[in-house]
Every structure is written in structure tokens, then in C-alpha cells.
Amino acid sequence: MPYPKGHKLKVRNHIITSAAKAFRTHGVRNISLPHIMKGAGLTHGGFYSHFENKDQLVMETCHFAISDTMEMLQKVADKNKNEDQPPIEAVIDFYLGSLHRDQTEVGCILPALSGEISQLSEEIRQAYTRELQRFITFITKLAGIDTSAGYALVSSMVGTVALARAVSDSKLSDDLLQAGRTQAKQMVNASSK
């Protein structure tokens, strides 16, 4: 009996969702295809009917994960449009907050992969670069700042999260997030058009 229409796409999306969770939490090199397939409720043997190789999965997962993060941040911004706080400040508070730091499996993939991307294939690096540029454009427009300031803001935000996740001292981690929030908001206020 044939599968219903759209079944293959649905399975593919389950694989990408599982990969996004795994890569956000453990990086690319530390995760095997069987682990990803198990997370999607599938066996390893079915992987190659959906993807040519792990690199293709990584590239598509980066796109999915950045889209997911931008959607989440847009919801945060939209929720705060009628508040006293500008939407970009609500986004900064969320992105540089303890919830985002601690829930790596659903957090932004940029800080999760930034340390290892340079050691992966050129195709993966190009995909990561495209997604970083897409994220910078999103944050820049949301903040109402020029591209150069957007580069600095995103670099500060991603770097702060990466460091806050990396350290073993919880107070230092919290202090990094607090300082990051303060500096990011000052950067936006100084650069607003």
C-alpha cells in the first residue's frame, strides 16, 4: 500500500527537526546519523532516501533552525509592540536571557555551531554564512540600525550566549548575560537611525 501524499516530506521534516535539536545541543561532529534518526523515530537505514549525506542535512538544518529562531524572536517582538520597551530590547532580553541560554535544544543554532563551523566542509560554511547573513538582516531591520551596527550587535549577542553556555560558573554566566543585555541595548540606542 503506498504512503499518503506528503508522507516523504513529513518524514524529512521530522529528520530535520531532530537534527536541529541535536546540533543545537551537541554540535555537528558529536552527533551521529543513527542518533538523529532515532530522535525522529526512524531507523538509520532510511536516511539516504531523504538526504545525500550528513553535509546536506546540516545545511538544511541550519536554514530550518535560523527560520525557527527568527520566528520565535518575531513573536517576542510582536508581543512587546504595545509595551513601553522597544521590540528590539525585548528580543535582546530574551536572546540574552537564562531561558535561551539553558534550553539549547530550541535555542539559536549560531552560538551552538560557531566554534566548529570553520572546521567543517566549505559547503556547510557557505550555508552557515548565508544563514548568519539572514539573521543579521533580521536583527538589523528589527533594531532600525545600519548593517555595520547590525554586524556588531549580532556578534555581541551570539558571542555572549556562546560564552554564557561555555563557562562552569553559574554566577559568571548570569553576569555575562546581564552585561551582554546592557551593552547590546546601548549599542542599539547609539546606532538607531
For 45-125, strand residue ranges (E) read none
| Rounded (10°) CA dihedral 174, 180, 182, 185 | -140
Q: Which fold has domain 53-192?
A: Tetracycline Repressor; domain 2 (1.10.357)
**Does pLDDT of 91 surpass 70?**
yes
Cell numbers describing residue 72: 520565535
| Whole-prediction pTM | 0.91
The pLDDT of 96-118, averaged and rounded, is: 95
What pLDDT band is residue 192 in, cutting at 50, 70 and 90?
confident
Q: Where are the domains positioned within the chain?
A: 53-192
Q: pLDDT tens across 16-75, in order? A: 999 999 999 999 999 999 999 999 998 888 898 899 999 999 999 999 999 999 999 999
Which residues fall within 8 angstroms of residue 119, CB to CB, at 6 or more apart? 29
Task: List the single range of 8-12, 23-27, 70-74, 145-149 with lowest mean pLDDT.
Answer: 8-12
Give 93: exposed, middle or buried? Use CB within 10 Å, 0-12, 13-18, 19+.
middle
Question: What per-residue confidence (pLDDT) applies to 108?
Answer: 96
Quote the pLDDT of residue 49: 86
Interval 150-166 mean pLDDT: 97
Report the percent of the chain where pLDDT is more than 70: 97
Q: How many residues does the chain have?
A: 193
Q: Which ranges constitute the DSSP H helices of 80-169?
A: 87-95, 98-102, 109-113, 122-143, 147-166
